[in-house]
Chain A
Amino acid sequence: MRNLRFCSNGSALCGITLLLSLILPPGVAGAVDVIANKSVAVDSLSLASARAIFGMRQVKWPDGTPIRVFVLPDDHVLHGAVCKERLNIFPYQLRQSWDRLVYSGMAQAPSEAMSEEELLNKVAATPGAIGYVRKVKANDPVKILNVE
């Protein structure tokens, strides 16, 4: 259902591309971009920082602005892609580590968007926000963060 919604403005090709991107080794396909609100004064993240941010352990940017993390549902194909390609972690592990933190009171959960479009809009509208989309288009109101 969610895959369909994700591909609704594309074609069957879109699904195949995504499938390929999951099979191919990271870096080859590059099917997902980590994005941030334009107010974020950072252009790139180390892998360690990206994991700490999406793992909800790091909660502020170097200038002190609170980080707001937006994600898609666990079973969304794009969530799987960002975990594997950008964070090099399995989605089920990210879920386990969020649950460990959230149900012991040690951190808050990321905010969940139901679609890629909603996620993009929220990142664009929320200062300090970080998230991910399939590919940023030229006029999208967000910035790309390189994860190195």
Chain B
Amino acid sequence: MIRSRFSMLNKWRLCLFWGAAFWSLSASAQELAEGVQAHGFLSQSVVRTSDNNVGGNSDDELASDLRELGVNLSWRPNPDWLISGQALARWAGETDEGSLRLDYGFVDRTLYNSGEAQIGVRLGKIKNPYGFFNTTRDVAQTRPGVIMPQSIYLDQVRNFFLAAPGISLYGNADSDQGALSWQVSAMRPEVDDVDLEYMTFLRDLPGKFAGRNSWLGQVMLDRDGGRWRMGVSLGEMNMRYQPGRSPPLDLLGGTHRLPTWVLSVQHNSEDWTYTAEYAQTQVIARDYGSAFEDNTIESGYLQATRRFADSWQGYLRYDVLYLDRDDRNGMQFASPLPGAPPAHSRFAKDWVVGVRRDLDRLALSAEIHHVDGTAWLARVDNPVAGLVRKWDMLLLQAAWRF
């Protein structure tokens, strides 16, 4: 009790510190000097669930452990060079406790520029292009709702997919019909999601994962000034498990390969935006001294967003995640053994309805979820014994950016 009070106090202090740092930075101009810009974002959410926990202890209580804070700097010494970096602190229940980290930091060099087409290279820690929203998933204003559609943008593997040290080749081409952009990255992913072992082994083991050489690419086409946006992202993310103990206390070493692809389509009109994304990720485990069956994660969502007068918008989303495409209801997976994860931990079908109002740089949002399934809940916040299959959630969020 005392310890939890202490850590609570510490959290608030940390918050206050970052808040103050943020406000003082944002008070100065965005344009700090010739070619130097600073930008940032800040969000705070509160959440209440009928069952299960999101962002702390939200089950029939109000949890406020959902917070994001980021500041970036960029410097363009001349048109062919760009140096940029962003620091991020994020709080999300037990899975993320506000430690400060480098979100991205890289050097960008334009190799070719014909006016309407550019080709360039980036070197450093680079955001991974994956679907429409991955690169800015921590900036509330850029998300399609209070939280990301969890099917494709699963928070449990966010760091794995978010950004990685590596090299990236990219290009843009603008024509009167539309704009084409592409990016291919080779990197070694950072594997520090606390939930990753629960995801892959269903338990926390003594060893840990390390990233192996991986690649991701994306092609995005904006037709007719972005009335239609279409994209394909694909790649293969790889990691290796290094055991911390000898069997039977741990597994032998092994590798996980995750070939993945996402299809993204969006239609924009003055008042409406329709968005659909669909993804499949294979999970291929090798070695470990134990047989893991390969499986395919299937996910997708559909969203309609309506813009009203005075910067109001409303949206409706249906979001589905199956952790095994060949066992969508989890019946083959479920085991009668006590303490085994239930069948409903293998899927989640989420209806979301939300509203948002933008007041200049501030955005206020509210969102209600009705969920069947528990596949995307953070295991560290949700012990198996307490999981409830059908649950509801209310989220309120205030977000500010500069």
Contacts and interface: CB of A to CB of B under 8 A. Distances in A.
A99 B30 contact: no
A58 B127 contact: no
Contacts, number: 115
Contact of A75 (B31, B115, B311): B311
B70 A59 contact: no
Interface stretch (A3-11, A32-40, A106-114, A130-138): A106-114
Interface of B: 30-31, 35, 37, 39, 41, 70, 72, 74, 76, 78-80, 82, 84-86, 104-106, 108, 110, 113, 115-116, 118, 122, 127, 135-136, 139, 141-142, 172, 174-176, 179, 181, 224-226, 268-270, 307, 311, 360, 401
B135 to A, nearest CB: 4
A102 B39 contact: yes
- Top 3 closest pairs, chain A to chain B, by CB: A105-B84, A60-B79, A89-B225
A49 B175 CA distance: 8
Interface string A101-124: 011111111011000000000000
Most chain B C-beta atoms within 10 Å of own C-beta, residue among A52, A64, A75, A97 = A52
A101 B31 CA distance: 16
A44 interface: no
A106 B121 CA distance: 11
Interface of A, secondary structure class, is loop
A103 B76 CA distance: 15
B136 A103 contact: yes
A104 B179 CA distance: 19
Contacts of B80: 60
A105 B225 contact: no
Given A57-B172, A107-B82, 4 more contacts: A48-B176, A49-B115, A51-B174, A58-B174
A25 interface: no
B179 A103 contact: no
Contact of A52 (B104, B122, B172): B172
Nearest to B313: A92
Interface of B, secondary structure class, is strand
B225 A49 contact: no
Contacts of B72: 102-103, 105
Most chain B C-beta atoms within 10 Å of own C-beta, residue among A51, A66, A103 = A103
Interface in A71-116: 73, 75, 87-90, 92-93, 96-97, 99-100, 102-109, 111-112
A17 B118 CA distance: 39
Contacts of A90: 225-226, 268-270
A62 interface: yes
A112 B360 CA distance: 13
Contact of A100 (B78, B135, B172, B270): B135
A87 B225 contact: yes
Nearest to A73: B360
Contact of A111 (B31, B104, B179, B401): B31
Nearest to A66: B79
Contact of B78 (A57, A66, A92, A99): A66
Given A90-B270, A96-B142, A104-B135, A59 B174 contact: no
Nearest to B307: A92
B135 A51 contact: no
Given A51-B225, A66-B79, A75-B311, A103 B30 contact: no
A58 B226 contact: no
